[in-house]
Amino acid sequence: MSDTKTYHEQTQIDNTLRLREVLKTLPPFAKDYFRAIEPRSSARTRINYAYDIRVFFHFLMENNPIYKNYTIEQFTPADLERLEPVDIEEYMEYLKVYKRDEELITNGEKGLSRKMSALRSFYNYYFKHQIITQNPTLLVDMPKLHEKAIIRLDADEVALLLDFVESAGSQLTGQALNYYLKTKDRDLAILTLLLGTGIRVSECVGLDINDVDFKNNGITVTRKGGNQMVVYFGSEVADALHNYMDGDRKVVTPLSGHENALFLSTQRKRMGIQAVENMVKKYARQVTPNKKITPHKLRSTYGTSLYKETGDIYLVADVLGHKDVNTTKKHYAAIDENRRRKAASAVKLRES
């Protein structure tokens, strides 16, 4: 019997092995922290935290005279409590722009906040377990995140995007036309699915053929944390999926290990997240060049449309797979474009 792993099982294995490699580049005592947060975090989150914490130790070796001649293996928990709040503030300033392997790295508000959250969580573990008696991160204000307008497609732009994917071949010739014809139905199915269900791009690429249930018009997706959930879709999504699955997907022979994948690349392998992101950007820039549209923006488009149609923020949270409804409220309930647009004509500057 073939021991074929699902996309999510294989991703978990790959990420676990990758995390082990990253941990080799951190001080030995750091393994205790990552072992402790394992039950409440994904391997992907732990990898990101490991990279972020590694930046902190590199900062100390490069900028703090005490650690100038240190190697990463020499750091101990005692070094954490030796630092003052000013050292943490200097690190926060450093994070805005720094060099790593000749590459200039910058962090905006979101990146800065994540790296500082990783460091505070790291410190908290050793402080809570009384391994250190001082926690300077508690005495430093975390960076403030400013609200940004949610970028999404308007209703007419959604129609324009899907229409463009259907008709783009009329503008192409040669090799570009051949590639378009090979991927048109697949791309249209993916875009329609993302716009019609609001699933994450990772959930989309993880879909297997048997996850699609046309009898009930639902797909079984694996959410963050590994929970499975059925997300229902309408007739437009059903038509696009049927068209792809009964056509291009049926005639392709996938490579070994990719037989169950719903969406295949031209190399006959399961499509990856980056491939879907590139595809979305490719089509979207032709329709909305002034908006940077990504798969996540398509998710925002769906969430906004669903909230406007139903006014039910708990339904939106449930369908999008948000664990905390406050996350949904923050992103969608505060949006009321129609009401806001009324302000434009409410105040008269001159009497007509």
- Of the candidates 332, 314, 331, which has an alpha carbon nearest to the alpha carbon of residue 323? 314
Q: What's the rounded mean pLDDT across residues 273-297? A: 95
Judge if 69 and 16 occupy the same domain. Answer: yes
Please check whether residue 128 lies inside any domain of the structure: yes
pLDDT tens sequence across 50-77: 999 999 999 999 999 999 999 999 999 9
Q: How distant is the alpha carbon of residue 117 from its chain centre?
A: 18
Please check whether residue 147 lies inside any domain of the structure: no
- Of the candidates 203, 232, 204, which has an alpha carbon nearest to the alpha carbon of residue 216? 232
pLDDT at 352: 57
Judge if 252 and 175 occupy the same domain. Answer: yes
pLDDT band at 336 (very low <50, low <70, confident <90, very high): low
Q: What are phi and psi of 276, to 5 degrees?
A: -70, -40
Judge if 250 and 324 occupy the same domain. Answer: yes
Of all residues in the chain, what percent carry a pLDDT higher than 70? 93
Half-sphere exposure of 119 (CA within 13 A, CB side): 32
* Mean confidence (pLDDT) of the chain: 91
Question: Is 6's pLDDT higher than 60?
Answer: yes
pLDDT tens sequence across 155-172: 999 999 999 999 998 888
Judge if 183 and 299 occupy the same domain. Answer: yes
pLDDT band at 186 (very low <50, low <70, confident <90, very high): very high
pLDDT at 1: 40
Torsion of CA 86, 89, 93, 96, to 10 degrees: 150
Q: What's the rounded mean pLDDT across residues 188-217? A: 96
Which of 139, 163, 180 terminates a domain? The answer is 139
3-state secondary structure 20-37: HHHHCCCCCCHHHHHHHH
Judge if 174 and 134 occupy the same domain. Answer: no
Judge if 172 and 29 occupy the same domain. Answer: no
Q: What's the rounded mean pLDDT across residues 90-108? A: 92
pLDDT at 113: 94
Q: What's the rounded mean pLDDT across residues 335-348? A: 59
Q: What's the rounded mean pLDDT across residues 315-332? A: 84
pLDDT tens sequence across 71-82: 999 999 999 999
Judge if 178 and 86 occupy the same domain. Answer: no
Judge if 57 and 112 occupy the same domain. Answer: yes
> What CATH number corresponds to the domain at position 171?
1.10.443.10
pLDDT at 323: 83
pLDDT at 350: 64
Please check whether residue 182 lies inside any domain of the structure: yes
Helix (H) or strand (E) holding 292: none
pLDDT band at 229 (very low <50, low <70, confident <90, very high): very high
Give the domain range for residue 73.
7-139
pLDDT at 102: 83
Q: How many domains does the chain have?
A: 2
pLDDT at 255: 95
Half-sphere exposure of 274 (CA within 13 A, CB side): 0
Token pair listed for 154: 């308007």
Token pair listed for 120: 């505070």
pLDDT at 143: 86
Judge if 164 and 216 occupy the same domain. Answer: yes
The predicted model scores a pTM of 0.84
Q: What are phi and psi of 57, to 5 degrees?
A: -70, -35
Q: 268 by DSSP, 3-state: which? A: coil
CA distance 104 to 81: 30
